[in-house]
Amino acid sequence: MILAVAAPDTTHAPVFALHEVPLPAIAAAEGTPCYVYSAPVVQARLAGLQQAFAACGHPWALHYALKANSSLGIARLVREAGVDADANSIGEIHLALRAGFRPDQVVFTGVGKSPAELTDAVGLDLKAINAESAGELDRIDAIARTQGRRTRVALRVNPDVDAQTHAHITTGLKSSKFGVPIDDAPGLLRARKDAAGLEIIGLHVHVGSQITTLGPLCAAARKVADLAVALRAEGFPLSHLDLGGGLGIVYEGGDVPTYEAFAQALVDVARPTGLTLIVEPGRTVVGPAGVLLARVIDVKPHAGGGRFVVLDAGMTELMRPALYGAFHRILPVEPSDRPLVSCDVVGPVCESSDSFGRPRELPDPQVGDLMAIMDAGAYGAVMSNTYNRRPLPPELLVQADGSWRTLRRRQTIDDMLALEQA
Ligand code: LLP
């Protein structure tokens, strides 16, 4: 777990390597910016979750939220670990199938599913489609009947629980666009109890991401569990409760619950329902397993007395700081006894929001220095884009033996223009 050793914002960090592969060697061979992931860290985190749920003695299934990192190589690693998938679009469903998941290992979530997505998903006979509205239930029913099928669905309910996280990733307040108000759920399910195209098998909830206490997760789970008990008493043959993802990671110090505490808390709520517990973790699996490796390409003083340190990575590679004001540790990769100086660490994109951290104390950065932006394995590469015509960065996976392989090569200008015509 070499990625976990550095202290928050360590300034005189020693050279750190991913499983004996020095990041400088990776940078020299592959160029920067690039994402570097550790296979053993992903595997260890998956195993940690599996062990924690297995120890609780209640039926469970883990569905990795592909949206956090859907690189084909990462998805394959997840499948090989025996964990199933949560997809948020037909693209993620097909990615999952290409990574070797069977359709019955995939749940399909998403606040808006197009007719084409629903037709495709129904035809694939996935484990479940998490429906987000009465209208969507009816559309699934109609498509399923046309195809001569009964489609397994879970209804996503909105419990009106504050996840106490960033507003942009809060999804369970009644003002959020997700799911149906929990109080409306019984009525709209009753009205569809005999729908020929639907098999109503579960309830789904997800109140937000980067949640660092168990309170909101349990509050939402309890509301959904109570509803499930009531629905079963009415004769709905439910089989699972899908309690979403949402366990956060440590970006900047502080604590997050252990996997054991997370699993136990959710199982304690699910057990009385007798239903299988599903969880859809994303960030906690891959976040700490990845760094964005970047090089300093300019240093200049600014009027405030500090300096701008311009990296060759920006909001195009990692947009979390620009989008959410998110904190990521920035560590110099190579040791240095230079004095600490105050820096605004920024990217090269034409936006003032293209900033990774200000101010940060770093050992007097020089052009050419390598920096690792930590905990970038989740919602990093998947959210990268080509603004300013910047090519998508490569993604590299380091194995336990210290070798690494390319999961995605760097985009070329020809790749970028391949879909265009003048
Ligand atoms: N299930 C559902 C229905 C979700 O919407 C999400 C995340 C997850 C599971 C996985 O949640 P996790 O375990 O990763 O917290 N781009 C944002 C995060 C967006 C999360 C969206 N939903 C960020 O960079 O923080």
The number of folded domains in the chain is 2
**Greatest Cα pair distance in the chain:** 72
Residue 2 included in any domain? no
Distance CA 54, CA 383 (A): 32
253 and 353 part of one domain: no
Residue 107 included in any domain? yes
CB neighbours of 261 closer than 8 A, spacing ≥ 6? 214
260 and 141 part of one domain: yes
Distance CA 264, CA 53 (A): 7
C-alpha pair distances (Å), 304 with each of 112, 308, 327, 342? 46, 10, 21, 10
Residue 48 included in any domain? yes
pTM to 2 decimal places: 0.95
Lowest pLDDT segment from 251-255, 267-271, 278-282: 251-255
264 and 333 part of one domain: no
Residue 109 confidence (pLDDT):
96
369 and 224 part of one domain: no
Q: Which atom of ligand 1 is nearest to the CA of 244?
A: 1
Residue 277 confidence (pLDDT):
98
Kindly report the CATH number assigned to the domain that includes residue 333.
2.40.37.10
> Does residue 356 register a pLDDT over 80?
yes
The pLDDT of 183-208, averaged and rounded, is: 96
Lowest pLDDT segment from 41-45, 81-85, 194-198: 41-45
Q: pLDDT tier at 357 (50, 70, 90 boundaries)?
A: confident
232 and 318 part of one domain: no
Residue 276 confidence (pLDDT):
98
Q: How far is the CA of 66 from the centre of ligand 1 (A)?
A: 9
Its domain, for residue 329, covers 18-38+287-417
Amino acid identity at 130: N
φ, ψ at 21 (rounded to 5°)? -95, 110
Lowest pLDDT segment from 11-20, 141-150, 194-203, 205-214: 11-20
Number of Cβ within 10 Å of residue 181's Cβ equals: 12
Residue 8 included in any domain? no
Residue 12 included in any domain? no
368 and 391 part of one domain: yes
Q: pLDDT tier at 1 (50, 70, 90 boundaries)?
A: very low
The pLDDT of 312-324, averaged and rounded, is: 97
> Does residue 297 register a pLDDT over 80?
yes
30 and 58 part of one domain: no
Q: How far is the CA of 71 from the centre of ligand 1 (A)?
A: 16
> Does residue 111 register a pLDDT over 50?
yes
Lowest pLDDT segment from 120-124, 213-217, 239-243, 280-284: 213-217
Q: Which atom of ligand 1 is nearest to the CA of 204?
A: 3
Distance CA 248, CA 207 (A): 12
User: Which residue's alpha carbon is nearest to atom 7 within ligand 1?
Assistant: 209
The pLDDT of 287-316, averaged and rounded, is: 95
Q: How far is the CA of 138 from the centre of ligand 1 (A)?
A: 26
Q: Which atom of ligand 1 is nearest to the CA of 109?
A: 3
Q: pLDDT by residue (tens digit) across 85-104?
A: 999 999 999 999 999 999 99
Residue 10 confidence (pLDDT):
31
The pLDDT of 226-231, averaged and rounded, is: 97
Residue 175 confidence (pLDDT):
81
Q: How far is the CA of 208 from the centre of ligand 1 (A)?
A: 7
Tell which one of 158, 283, 385 to mutate to probe ligand 1, the residue whose CB is within 8 A of the most ligand atoms: 283
Domain limit, last residue, from 257, 286, 315? 286
Q: Give ligand 1 pocket residues (Cβ under 6 A).
A: 65, 67-68, 86, 109, 169, 206, 209-210, 244-247, 280-284, 320, 324, 379
Domain limit, last residue, from 286, 315, 348? 286
Residue 162 confidence (pLDDT):
76
Residue 122 included in any domain? yes
Distance CA 85, CA 92 (A): 9
Task: Specify whether the CB–CB gap between 326 and 343 falls below 8 A.
Answer: no
Kindly report the CATH number assigned to the domain that includes residue 155.
3.20.20.10
The pLDDT of 374-380, averaged and rounded, is: 96
User: Which residue's alpha carbon is nearest to atom 6 within ligand 1?
Assistant: 245
Residue 229 confidence (pLDDT):
97
Residue 349 confidence (pLDDT):
98
Residue 21 confidence (pLDDT):
65
257 and 336 part of one domain: no
Distance CA 258, CA 288 (A): 14
Q: pLDDT by residue (tens digit) across 2-38?
A: 333 333 333 223 334 454 567 999 999 999 999 999 9
The catalytic site residues sit at: 350
115 and 51 part of one domain: yes
Residue 134 included in any domain? yes
φ, ψ at 37 (rounded to 5°)? -115, 150
Asked whether the bond before 33 is cis by omega within 30 degrees of 0, the reply is: yes
Torsion over CA: 74, 75, 78, 79 (sign)? negative
Domain limit, last residue, from 258, 286, 314? 286
Q: Which atom of ligand 1 is nearest to the CA of 171?
A: 5
379 and 292 part of one domain: yes
Residue 305 confidence (pLDDT):
82
30 and 44 part of one domain: no
274 and 393 part of one domain: no
Distance CA 69, CA 382 (A): 6
> Does residue 371 register a pLDDT over 70?
yes
Lowest pLDDT segment from 92-101, 114-123, 176-185, 270-279: 176-185
- For residue 255, give both structure tokens: 């604590």
> Does residue 84 register a pLDDT over 50?
yes
Residue 20 confidence (pLDDT):
54
Residue 7 included in any domain? no
